[in-house]
Amino acid sequence: MKAEMGKDYPLLMAEKACKTLMNSYKAKDLPPTEKWHYHQGVFLYGMYRVWEATGKREYFQYIKDYYDFLIDEEGNFLFARDELDSIQPGILLFPLYEKTGEKKYLIAAKKLRNLVNTINKTSEQGFWHKDKYPYQMWLDGLFMAGPFLTKYSDYFYEPELIQTVLYQEKLMTKHLCNKDTGLLYHAWDEKKEQPWSNPKTGCSPEVWGRSAGWYGAAIIDILELLEGKSVGQEVLIEDLKTFISAMVSYQDKETGLWYQIIDKGYRDDNWLESSCSSLFIYIISKALKKGYVDNEKMQVVINGYTGLIKNMVEVTEKVLNLNGICIGTSAGTYDYYVSRPVSRNDLHGMGAFILASIALYDLLQ
């Protein structure tokens, strides 16, 4: 990051990103409109971190407006009850309760927690990512469910939920990690029936950037929630170190960013992607802050953030636009990933960029 940007520059960018979307949408109209969805959850999670850093009421109120539109006074709300994605927005129910004392938020949290009782599972009790994706575990799922369940375990005295989260991560590293590179494939099909699945391993064939970002972000967030406990999270620290080492080795030297398909930057049809780059900056910045990785990684996040600002961000006095964001994506083959459309200000990317900015801001203080 250029010296003239200053240590507060990432916070300024995070606030501009928040306000850009706040000025574009009422909270209830965040896309997909009037729906409980992880797209909004990721963006609002980033905004929550901005509220923590600034204490500005407008951010908390915007978050509250989204949840209050969807959740009634009895804690009832409509959500998809057959997919891990539905759980992710639940992470903000806890600070909403802490700030307001309104019990409806905890009632809603209990309903989300029960989803993991009924969602289908592999023969090893790994959560299917969605019931419509039979016998498939996706990296994304650890971020969608892991931090929420970890936080929930404290609120409702269910320590076994922490072991469930650790076990799900163990299954992912067992089935999705390439032991030679340390990289993780996007998805695994236990039955090896999907068109993309490797007939021997069941893995999808590619290392998709944002799915890797979700996995790493889940680990760093879970570790933060487990601070002060001794519940076997040491394995997460080791997996995080392996993950970061692998990601660093594939950072584009010229731009500081990462590719849509992480390990195939040499392909002409591959392209640099902003949401995964943001997530890696978030993960490594927080790992540096906690002392999980050596200080040499500081240059990695500086180069990455500078690359985002230079190559992906358009900023004016009042607006920040983020380009190069891959839209929502399923599991597939190389051609599928690189042909996915890119968008501007998609909530995947804006949320990830805000998280990256706040994590770097915290690190620089």
Contacts of 216 (CB under 8 A, 6+ apart): 240, 243, 244, 247, 279, 280, 283
The number of folded domains in the chain is 1
Is residue 275 situated within a structural domain? yes
Q: Specify the CATH number for the domain of residue 305.
A: 1.50.10.10
85 is annotated as an active-site residue: no
Residue pair 85/37 in contact (Cβ under 8 Å)? The answer is yes
Asked if residue 219 belongs to a domain, the reply is: yes
pLDDT band of 5, cuts 50, 70, 90: confident
Q: Which of 68, 85, 140, 346 is the catalytic position? A: 140
Residue 142 and residue 187: Cα distance in Å, rounded?
A: 12
Q: Over 80: is that where the pLDDT of 355 sits?
A: yes
Which pLDDT belongs to residue 178?
A: 96
Is the model's pLDDT at 1 over the cut of 60? no
Average pLDDT over residues 77-83: 98
Asked whether residue 16 is domain-assigned, the answer is yes
Domain that holds residue 184: 3-26+120-364
Q: Is residue 236 part of a domain?
A: yes
Average pLDDT over residues 146-167: 97
Residue type, 292: Y
- Of 160, 151, 166, 296, which is closest to residue 225 (Cα–Cα)? 151
Domain presence at residue 160: yes
Distance CA 162, CA 160 (A): 5
DSSP annotation string for 31-97: SSTT---HHHHHHHHHHHHHHHHH--HHHHHHHHHHHHHHS-TTS-----TTBGGGGGGGGGHHHHH
Q: What pLDDT sits at residue 4?
A: 55
Domain membership of residue 112 (yes or no) is: no
- Answer whether residue 207 is part of any domain: yes
Residue 296 inside a domain? The answer is yes
Torsion sign, CA atoms 90, 92, 96, 98:
positive
Q: How many residues does the chain have?
A: 365
